[in-house]
């Protein structure tokens, strides 16, 4: 099947490239035109069996849809850039050597969970999306990572000359 698709694509594609390039050049900038051309040819490759006898009008339709997708993506990027520019500068996470050291002692996955939660202010369900895990797993792992970090911080501060209250304890 791949061999017949390849043969069909190799027969049709050379006749489509230049008309597609001209079609796109009249509708967008050169860089976007090349990207959309590549995306259009990829769709043609994937759907080579669907190509009609006279493929050019069908391929123009595919290119039109790919161009719309590229334009939507560009608008999304512009909106994100505008939102970023409108936000005040974020100084980033506070400098705390003890916190940095404690984070460094955790497994990288645990540290990333905590960073996503504390610095990026994501909820466990959002962290789950970022890490590709279930929301329940994200919540459970986050709880464990918080506890582990708190234990490490407590130990590092106790070892750094900070005395814990001994009130109510027998020596």
Choose the final residue of a domain: 31, 51, 86. Answer: 86
Please tell me what DSSP assigns to residue 46.
Answer: H
Is-contact 127 138, C-beta < 8 A?
yes
Task: Specify whether 153 is located in the same domain as 113.
Answer: yes
Report the CATH number that the domain containing residue 12 is assigned in CATH.
Answer: 1.10.1740.10
Domain identity same for 81 and 104: no
Global model pTM greater than 0.75:
no
Separation CA 140–CA 122 (nearest Å): 15
Structure confidence at residue 82 (pLDDT) = 87
Tell me what pLDDT residue 121 has.
87
User: Which domain does 106 fall in, by range?
Assistant: 97-159
Residue 148: pLDDT band by 50, 70, 90 thresholds?
Answer: very high
Across residues 37-47, what is the average pLDDT? 94
pLDDT recorded at residue 93 = 58
Same domain, 43 and 106: no
Checking if the pLDDT of 44 tops 90, the result is yes
Task: Give the pLDDT confidence score for residue 120 in this predicted structure.
Answer: 85
Look at 131 and 2; give whichever has higher pLDDT.
Answer: 131
Give the pair of three-digit tokens for residue 33: 């035109």
How do residues 48-71 score in pLDDT, each as one tens digit? Answer: 888 998 999 999 999 999 999 999
Say if 170 falls within a structural domain.
no
Distance separating alpha carbons of residues 112 and 86, to the nearest angstrom: 27
Please report whether residue 113 resides in a domain: yes
Confidence label for 138 from pLDDT (cuts 50, 70 and 90)? very high
Asked whether residue 15 is assigned to any structural domain, the reply reads: yes
Judge whether 171 lies within some domain: no
> Which CATH number belongs to the domain containing residue 147 in this structure?
1.10.10.10
Q: Which of 86, 106, 123 is the last residue of a domain?
A: 86
Q: Considering its fold, how many domains does the chain have in total? A: 2
Query: Domain boundary at 31, 61, 86, which?
Result: 86
Spell out the long-range contacts of 137-146 with Cβ–Cβ below 8 A and sequence spacing 24 or more.
138/113, 141/109, 141/110, 141/113, 142/113, 142/114, 142/117, 144/110, 145/106, 145/110, 145/111, 145/113, 145/114, 146/114, 146/117
């Amino acid at each position: 099947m791949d061999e017949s698709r390849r043969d069909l694509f190799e027969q049709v594609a050379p006749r489509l490239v230049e008309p597609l390039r001209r079609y796109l050049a009249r509708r967008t900038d050169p860089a976007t035109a090349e990207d959309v051309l590549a995306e259009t040819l990829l769709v043609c490759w994937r759907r080579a069996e669907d190509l009609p006898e006279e493929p050019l009008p069908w391929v123009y339709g595919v290119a039109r849809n790919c161009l719309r997708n590229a334009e939507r993506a560009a608008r999304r990027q512009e909106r994100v850039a505008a939102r970023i520019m409108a936000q005040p500068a974020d100084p980033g996470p506070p400098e705390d050597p003890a916190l940095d050291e404690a984070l460094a002692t955790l497994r990288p996955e645990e540290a990333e969970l905590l960073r996503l939660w504390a610095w990026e202010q994501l909820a466990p369900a959002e962290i789950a999306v970022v890490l590709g895990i279930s929301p329940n797993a994200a919540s459970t792992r986050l709880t464990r990572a918080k506890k582990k970090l708190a234990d490490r911080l407590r130990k590092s501060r106790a070892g750094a000359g900070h005395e814990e209250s001994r009130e109510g304890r027998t020596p």
